[in-house]
Amino acid sequence: MRMNPIPTPALLFCKICRLFLCCIALAGSPVTMAEVPIYDVEVIIFSNQNSGDGGERWPITIPDDINVQDFVSAGELIELPESTHQLGNISYSLRQAPGYSVLYHSAWRQPAYDNRNAIGHPIDSSVRSGGKSLSGQIKLVRERYLHLDVDLLLASATAMTESSYMEGDGGSPVYELSEKRRIKKSGKVHYFDHPRFGMIAILTPYQSPQLEQQLQEDADQEAAALAEESTVAEEPLPEDDQLTR
Write out pLDDT tens, residues 90-114.
999 999 999 899 999 999 999 999 9
Looking at the fold, whether 110 and 13 belong to one and the same domain comes out as no
The C-alpha atoms of residue 135 and residue 194 are separated, in whole angstroms, by 15
> Which residue, 190, 205, 220, sits at the end of a domain?
205
- DSSP result, 193-226: --SSEEEEEEEEE---HHHHHHHHHHHHHHHHHH
Q: Which residues, 6 or more positions from 187, have their beta carbon under 8 angstroms from its beta carbon?
A: 202, 203, 204
Looking at the fold, whether 96 and 74 belong to one and the same domain comes out as yes
The per-residue pLDDT string of the chain (245 residues; one tens digit each, 9 = 90 and over) reads: 555 555 555 555 555 555 555 444 444 444 444 468 999 999 999 988 876 554 444 444 444 444 444 444 546 889 999 999 999 999 999 999 998 999 999 999 999 999 999 999 999 755 555 677 889 999 999 999 999 999 999 987 655 544 433 444 455 678 899 999 999 888 999 999 888 899 999 999 998 766 556 666 777 777 777 777 777 666 665 665 555 55
Looking at the fold, whether 78 and 197 belong to one and the same domain comes out as yes
pLDDT digits (tens, 9 = 90+) for 27-65: 444 444 446 899 999 999 998 887 655 444 444 444 444
Looking at the fold, whether 84 and 189 belong to one and the same domain comes out as yes
Looking at the fold, whether 5 and 89 belong to one and the same domain comes out as no
The C-alpha atoms of residue 77 and residue 119 are separated, in whole angstroms, by 8
Looking at the fold, whether 222 and 199 belong to one and the same domain comes out as no
pLDDT attached to residue 48: 86
Looking at the fold, whether 72 and 175 belong to one and the same domain comes out as yes
Report the phi/psi class of residue 55: left, alpha or beta, with left for phi > 0 and alpha for psi in -120 to 50.
Answer: left
Looking at the fold, whether 105 and 15 belong to one and the same domain comes out as no
Looking at the fold, whether 79 and 200 belong to one and the same domain comes out as yes
Is 241 among the domain residues?
no
Give how many domains the chain has, as a whole number: 2
Looking at the fold, whether 201 and 213 belong to one and the same domain comes out as no
pLDDT attached to residue 49: 81
Is 240 among the domain residues?
no
Name which of 37, 42, 34 is nearest 203 in CA terms.
42
Q: Quote the domain boundaries for residue 5.
A: 1-33+208-232
Is 155 among the domain residues?
yes
pLDDT attached to residue 132: 79
Is 239 among the domain residues?
no
For the whole model, what pTM was predicted?
0.63
